[in-house]
Amino acid sequence: MPSACEFPNVNPYETSVMEIAGLDLETMSCEGTFKPDLTYITEAHELKVNTEKVEEYFKISDFQHCRYRHIFRNETNDNSFKYSEWSKPFRDKVDLPEDAEFLKVECTNKTFEVVSKTFFCLVPKHNEFDETDLLNFKKRQVISSPKETLNIIMIGMDSLPRNQFLRGCNKTYSYLINSLKSFDLTMHSQLGENTFPNFLPLFGGTSYDEIMKWWSDENYMDTFDLIFSTFEKAGYQTLYTEDWPRIGAFHYLKKGFRRPFARYNTRPLTLAMSDEKDIWEYDSYCAGNQLEMSFLLDYVSRFLQTFRNKPVFVVAMLGKPTHDQPTDAKMFDEHLLNFYRSLNQSGHLNNSLLVSFSDHGVRWGPLRNSRNGVVESRTPYTILTFPGWFLRKYPDVATNLKVNTKRLTSHFDTHATLLDLLYFKSDTPPPLAPLRHGISLFEKISWDRTCVNASIPQEYCLCGYKSLEELHVTSHISKTLASLVIDAINSKTNTSICSVFKLRKVIRILKVTLNENKSTGETEKTIYKVKLAATPGDAVFEGNVYAPVNNIEHFTVHSEIHRLNLYRGQADCMNIAALRPFCYCKNLKTK
């Protein structure tokens, strides 16, 4: 039976959208953009000078030496890092200590000018955890007897809607669907505006509103029940890496964690790299001569190889390629495809669930401003790839996964599925707290599921668009709606340090009539999607105004209002992340 929820019928390949999707961009290359990498790490765990490159770029007589230093986490501040002292200089090679993890290497010429700067990330084995990990794994096997143990590999991209993944990463998408027989969740809804309120459901199984009842940005996050610790307690090795540490999901204007939430975490390394202003090229996509995305994915590959005989839970979150410009996705398609191919060819996908995902849809830019912008802004992609033998062995699971590709889903369900896989078809109930939200995708999701019983906020619900009408921007009702939204914006503004916004123009107002039995389970209503421009700062906002169908003059502005253009540099005086979109600092020149 088809799903009672019906998403708006939009064509991802519509001509007007294809023209702005960045499909003419070439694959990103970082070769030759920076000083050469003069060192490398051998299989014997040596840091070695590449004499051929030295001869290629310099005269041997001009080469002085190289040296390295370790990069460590700052135990008292999750938003900083520490360096060790420099090693002794070397001209050929040096043995690295077994516990070496993150390194910065510099090489100089005879005048002591730095001619090469390279970062390395290694995967040391933390042998001190071996006994505990083994006992935890045995405990899970003996008490719960799960039928299978699969690795979890999660590769995420920031702000990339499903339709843009189909367009911009078409080679990767084709490989996932046609070669790896993956499951594409075509009706996947986001649960919040930015990364944080979408990561909480994905990795914590809880909502932003639930967390904010007892936590604030001024607190550390060690009290969050994140799924990483659940897998560690079952004997898994855990890894988390992201490429934009200062605005990452758990750290943007937040204190982060007292202790790392994953055993292997590249945060000290990426913080150190981000401070090296002279290594970045091409909008910070390239760290020296290497694409940062590939640098981190190579680290994931080495982690998987190091722990080939142990279960692992791996998350790599790639923000830079698509956060500001999802239309840049095409430049990274080939790199992502090559990584997935290497995972498959090396056999890692034969014992792993691969989750390809984004946190949320596009928030600004040409895609957000297109006629399909509402859909593009609320539909992240999630694609699940299982080993072929697993699907053949459990045909009931394969059948349900296929059905669920056309059912209403969210990252609450992704979270539930990960936990279900950890105790897959166990003989006894798993030692886990009951789920507050979500349904495992191994179970068949009901055809009549609504946004309400799926815990999807009304603001992000795309079900049941009964009709869609564009209002004239100069009409009386348009002016009334715009005025209400401006008032709501200013109610969020701290006027002691931020300017009051004034309406510059109404850009577009869409009247959406929702159908009761195909949307949220609530009474029938009309939603006005109000998009406007305001001063100062050339700000562009979108807000939803609700009205009951039988009383269209009774308006209610939804609490979530979205900033649709970048505001970097306009709100530095505001330290509360949630209020930054609604602040133009008074100390700036008014535009």
State mean pLDDT over 5-30: 92
Q: What is the pTM of this model?
A: 0.89
Total domains, the chain: 2
Return the minimum-mean-pLDDT range out of 196-205, 388-397, 503-512: 503-512
Residue 112 lies in a domain: no
Q: In the listed set 460, 488, 504, which residue is the last one of a domain according to the structure?
A: 460
pLDDT at 518: 46
Question: Phi and psi of 107, rounded to 5°?
Answer: -125, 145
Q: How confident is the model at residue 524 (pLDDT cuts 50, 70, 90)?
A: low
Residue 162 has pLDDT above 90, yes or no: yes
Q: How confident is the model at residue 262 (pLDDT cuts 50, 70, 90)?
A: very high
The larger pLDDT score, comparing residue 370 to residue 185, is at 185
Q: How big is the chain by its Cα radius of gyration, in Å?
A: 25
Same domain, 439 and 309: yes
Interatomic CA distance for residues 551 and 555, integer angstroms: 9
Same domain, 398 and 485: no
Same domain, 431 and 554: no
State mean pLDDT over 401-414: 98
What's the CATH code of the domain at 323? 3.40.720.10
The SS3 assignment for 320 reads coil
Same domain, 394 and 443: yes
Instruction: Measure CA 381 to chain center.
Output: 11
Question: Phi and psi of 458, rounded to 5°?
Answer: -55, -35
pLDDT at 178: 98
Residue 59 has pLDDT above 80, yes or no: no
| Mean pLDDT score across all residues of the chain | 92
Same domain, 437 and 293: yes
Residue 234 lies in a domain: no
State mean pLDDT over 545-574: 83
Structural domain harbouring 566? 465-582
Q: In the listed set 460, 475, 491, which residue is the last one of a domain according to the structure?
A: 460
pLDDT at 519: 42
**Is it true that the peptide bond before 536 is cis, omega within 30 degrees of 0?**
yes
Same domain, 175 and 153: yes
Residue 72: strand pairing partners: 82
Cα–Cα separations (whole angstroms), residue 491 to 71, 185, 551 = 44, 37, 25
Same domain, 406 and 445: yes
What sign for the dihedral angle of Cα 218, 219, 225, 230?
A: positive
Interatomic CA distance for residues 10 and 468, integer angstroms: 12
The larger pLDDT score, comparing residue 58 to residue 142, is at 142
Residue 86 lies in a domain: no
Token pair for 386: 């299982």
What angle is formed at CA 186 by the lines to CA 185 and CA 187, rounded to 5 degrees?
95
Residue 136 lies in a domain: no
Same domain, 417 and 537: no
Same domain, 432 and 574: no
Interatomic CA distance for residues 253 and 373, integer angstroms: 28
Residue 573 lies in a domain: yes
Return the minimum-mean-pLDDT range out of 1-5, 112-116, 163-167, 492-496: 1-5
State mean pLDDT over 492-511: 92
Tens-place pLDDT, residues 297-353: 999 999 999 999 999 999 999 999 999 899 999 999 999 999 999 999 999 999 999
Same domain, 409 and 545: no
Please report which residue ranges of 423-572 form alpha helices under DSSP H: 476-491
pLDDT at 281: 80
Q: In the listed set 435, 460, 485, which residue is the last one of a domain according to the structure?
A: 460
Same domain, 480 and 434: no
Same domain, 387 and 505: no
Residue 134 lies in a domain: no
Cα–Cα separations (whole angstroms), residue 349 to 307, 335, 370, 421 = 14, 18, 37, 15
Token pair for 508: 């577009």
What's the CATH code of the domain at 550? 3.10.450.10
Residue 191 lies in a domain: yes
